[in-house]
Amino acid sequence: MSKPTILLIYTGGTIGMAKDPKTGNLRAFNFDNLLTKIPELNLLDCQITTVSIQAPIDSSNMTPNHWVEIAELIEHHYERCDGFVVLHGSDTMSYTASALSFMLENLTKPIIFTGSQLPIGDLRTDAKENLITSIQIAALQQKDTAVVQEVAIYFEYKLYRANRTTKINAEHFEAFTSLNYPALITSGVHLNINYEALFKPKLTQKLNIHKTLNTNVTIVKLFPGISKPIITALFSLPHLEGIILETFGAGNAITNKWFIELLQATLQRGVHIVNVTQCLQGHVIMGQYETSTQLKKIGLISGHNITTEAAVTKLMYLLSKTNTPNEFRIAYETSLRGELS
């Protein structure tokens, strides 16, 4: 039996930096010499090849155009490779990985995003473990079929469904969490696989890559004392087609008459508004409290327990399709890639 072939896709980020021993400065790491730099990778039972996006960047500068570039690299190598590991800065990793989960329809191979909090050449780096285990997970097969068949993020001994993740810490190695969905794999002495949590794709359908995303969207976070003129200006922006409204608790919002009327007027213009909770854990349940009853009545879309990262990328994905308002609502409130429950 041939060994699985894993493609490493480098996009930039801390994991791609190494310290110059002479100057102490950080510089981009040459991934063509990956096996020389990390000889432990030779112990993995797979073949590793590498590729980079055209211009690697800090993840703070990541855009939907880069998401398409990553998707096209996966598309180009999809038949020849058994799994993919995407090296990415941690700051916007959840956004990119969530977007890819929607863009790659009928995916049956693992796309594992990983990165690090310290550069790969640092003495205390978390990069080596994250990279080695990500490759090992991407190469996992049972009966010639990939164990993981979805987009995921591996960081600090945990593999999470990508579109369930949020970055919660800028300093600790445990940078990500998934509070509304369990870990897919936990790395210890052994890899403990949560088979029940893994996504089950339709194996009979071919990979379909969606490369068009609609970025005419915004995120509005409610807070006590939010200004009517400011929020009115935001909701009145030209070309606006979708809003992620981050509400309180279980989907609650202010009940001022002007606010409800503003929401109604925005909906009547054809702008989709998705109700997403500001809380890291829990569901939007419109109608549970009086402060969300009117939101349900006027027709806001429920984000259920979706993360903000997945909410905005799902909005971009669905807005690129031609749907009636009712079809859009049904699609948004349906779990497409395991992003909500």
Predicted local distance difference test score (pLDDT) of residue 53: 92
Same domain? For 175 and 149 the reply is yes
Paired tokens of 115: 């990165």
125 three-class SS: coil
Q: Of 209, 232, 266, which closes a domain? A: 209
Tell me how crowded residue 219 is: count the other CB atoms within 10 A of its CB.
16
What backbone phi and psi angles, to 5 degrees, belong to 133?
-70, -35
Q: Are 92 and 67 in contact (CB under 8 A)?
A: no
Same domain? For 55 and 202 the reply is yes
Same domain? For 175 and 39 the reply is yes
Same domain? For 179 and 102 the reply is yes
Paired tokens of 25: 């400065």
Burial (CB count <10 Å: 0-12, 13-18, 19+), residue 308: buried
Annotated active-site residue 14? The verdict is yes
Q: Of 209, 233, 253, which closes a domain? A: 209
Residue 232 lies in a domain: yes
Same domain? For 166 and 65 the reply is yes
Same domain? For 155 and 261 the reply is no
Same domain? For 157 and 234 the reply is no
**Residue in 5, 11, 14, 96 annotated catalytic:** 14
Same domain? For 106 and 43 the reply is yes
Residue 89 lies in a domain: yes
Same domain? For 192 and 241 the reply is no
Paired tokens of 279: 């809380």
Same domain? For 162 and 247 the reply is no
Per the structure, the count of domains in the chain is 2
CATH number for the domain that contains residue 131: 3.40.50.1170
- Give the H/E segment covering residue 208: strand 208-209
Residue 183 lies in a domain: yes
Q: Are 102 and 336 in contact (CB under 8 A)?
A: yes
Helices (H) and strands (E) in the chain — how many of each?
Answer: 9, 20
Same domain? For 246 and 325 the reply is yes
Residue 338 lies in a domain: no
Residue 337 lies in a domain: no
Q: What is the pLDDT along the chain (341 residues), one digit of tens a residue?
A: 689 999 999 998 878 776 677 777 766 666 666 666 778 888 899 999 999 999 888 888 999 999 999 999 999 999 999 999 999 999 999 999 999 999 999 999 999 999 888 877 677 878 888 999 999 999 999 988 999 999 999 998 999 999 999 999 887 888 899 999 999 999 988 999 999 999 998 878 899 999 999 999 999 999 999 999 999 999 999 999 999 999 999 999 999 999 999 999 999 999 999 999 999 999 999 888 888 899 999 999 999 999 999 999 999 999 998 778 899 999 999 999 999 99
Same domain? For 48 and 147 the reply is yes
Q: Of 162, 192, 209, which closes a domain? A: 209
Structural domain of 9: 5-209
Residue 341 lies in a domain: no
Radius of gyration of the chain (CA): 21
Residue 339 lies in a domain: no
What backbone phi and psi angles, to 5 degrees, belong to 201?
-80, 170
End-to-end alpha-carbon separation of the chain, Å? 39
CATH number for the domain that contains residue 306: 3.40.50.40
Residue 324 lies in a domain: yes
Distance separating alpha carbons of residues 199 and 285, to the nearest angstrom: 25
Distance separating alpha carbons of residues 239 and 262, to the nearest angstrom: 17
